[in-house]
């Protein structure tokens, strides 16, 4: 057989073997997925092995288990130790199909690492309190609580608001496993008016629940609607008044302009620092928002640290911004 033909045959055999291996792995995973007990045992063992493996093998294990269209059951697992930022240890309950599921396989959670790194270096000594609007499952909440335990910390209190009952239950579980005593959680939304309001949760996207139906529908055609309790943004005034320096972190999935507008008099009176998402759908509205006129220092979080910008313009590679009325430490 000519050399070229032999090489081609060898490559074809390898390709065919790889396809058969993938089909076998998919069949095995579909069989495991039919049983909750089998799924739990499988991911507990696979995750434990992956955490001890080199990074490349760890990524291969994650892809093998999660990179296929397998209908895994949305299970919660026992808490895992992970690091956020550069060196901040926290504990999280991983969930299959959610961003915190990475804790099954990794010792480090790379979620919004640029933001965590700056907060890790500065937030504990810069702020007396932090108000989280849209705390979700509490990754930031337990991280902030860790900052209060530092010897040089002035940060003493975190107020965490989360309207999703599913996310709030996970928030409480993560607070408990971290013994997070500085966090006061509230299962309510912050909005322009108090009362009951509709909340929309896209299937498989727990972090993207929103008071805006069209925003939630951009993630899934299957959106669950629930009725949640909301408080007027002005109800936050006692929290701002009780502390000299406050950070307000808003992750409201498209509702940032409305919440900030409802807080206008509070922003004018207390000038808290703001940590917000700036998405393509809302950057124009934020630029036009009169309530942000006191904030002359706009910083986009990048891998190289906060970058001073002249205007709030959605960036394709980063979405988190810090807005302040005075210069910051970078």
pLDDT at 68: 67
Structural domain tally of the chain? 2
pLDDT at 20: 82
β-strand pairing of 195-202 with 223-232: antiparallel
Does residue 141 sit in the same domain as residue 58?
Answer: no
Does residue 191 sit in the same domain as residue 56?
Answer: no
What tens digit of pLDDT does each residue of 177-188 get? 999 999 999 999
Q: Under a CB-based contact definition with an 8 Å cutoff, are residues 294 and 86 in contact?
A: no
Last residue of one domain, picked from the residues 54, 83, 104: 104
pLDDT at 284: 92
pLDDT at 153: 96
Last residue of one domain, picked from the residues 79, 104, 129: 104
Does residue 63 sit in the same domain as residue 161?
Answer: no
Query: Per-residue pLDDT for 7 more than 60?
Result: no
In the numeric block, which tokens belong to residue 31? 């069989």
Neighbours of 83 (CB within 10 A): 15
pLDDT at 98: 84
Q: Which residue has the higher pLDDT, 156 or 55?
A: 156
Distance CA 296, CA 299 (A): 10
- Average the pLDDT over 120-143 and give the result: 97
Tell me, what CATH number does 234's domain have? 3.40.50.150
Distance CA 278, CA 286 (A): 8
Does residue 136 sit in the same domain as residue 100?
Answer: no
Last residue of one domain, picked from the residues 104, 138, 172: 104
Confidence band (pLDDT; 50, 70, 90) for 96? Answer: confident
pLDDT at 8: 53
Entry pTM: 0.88
What tens digit of pLDDT does each residue of 40-78 get? 999 899 899 889 888 888 887 777 777 667 888 888 999
Query: Per-residue pLDDT for 35 more than 80?
Result: yes
What tens digit of pLDDT does each residue of 72-95 get? 888 899 999 999 999 999 999 999
Distance CA 207, CA 300 (A): 21
User: Which structural domain range is residue 87 located in?
Assistant: 3-104
């Amino acid at each position: 057989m000519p050399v070229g033909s032999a090489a081609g045959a060898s490559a074809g055999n390898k390709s065919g073997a790889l396809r058969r291996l993938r089909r076998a792995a998919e069949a095995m995973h579909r069989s495991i997925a039919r049983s909750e007990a089998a799924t739990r045992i499988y991911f507990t063992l696979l995750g434990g092995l992956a955490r001890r493996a080199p990074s490349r093998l760890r990524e291969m294990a994650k892809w093998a288990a999660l990179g296929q269209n397998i209908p895994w059951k949305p299970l919660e697992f026992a808490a895992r130790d992970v690091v956020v930022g550069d060196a901040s240890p926290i504990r999280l309950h991983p969930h299959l199909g959610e961003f915190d599921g990475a804790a099954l396989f990794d010792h480090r959670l790379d979620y919004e690492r640029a933001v965590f790194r700056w907060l890790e270096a500065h937030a504990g000594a810069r702020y007396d309190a932090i108000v989280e609007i849209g705390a979700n499952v509490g990754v930031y909440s337990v991280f902030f609580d860790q900052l209060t335990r530092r010897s040089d910390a002035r940060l003493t209190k975190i107020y965490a608001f989360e309207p999703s009952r599913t996310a709030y239950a996970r928030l409480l579980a993560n607070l408990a496993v971290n013994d997070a005593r500085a966090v006061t959680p509230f299962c309510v939304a912050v909005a322009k008016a108090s009362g009951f309001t509709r909340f929309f949760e896209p299937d498989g996207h727990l972090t993207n629940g929103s008071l805006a139906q069209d925003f939630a529908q951009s993630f899934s055609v299957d959106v669950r609607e629930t009725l949640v309790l909301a408080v007027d943004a002005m109800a936050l005034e006692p929290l701002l008044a009780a502390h000299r320096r406050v950070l307000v972190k808003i992750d409201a999935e498209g509702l940032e302009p409305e919440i900030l507008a409802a807080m206008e008099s509070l922003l004018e009176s207390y000038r808290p620092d703001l940590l917000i998402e700036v998405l393509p759908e809302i950057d124009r509205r934020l630029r036009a928002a009169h309530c942000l006129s006191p904030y002359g220092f706009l910083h986009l979080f990048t891998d190289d640290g906060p970058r001073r910008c002249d205007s709030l313009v959605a960036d394709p590679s980063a979405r988190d911004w810090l807005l302040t009325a005075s210069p910051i430490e970078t």
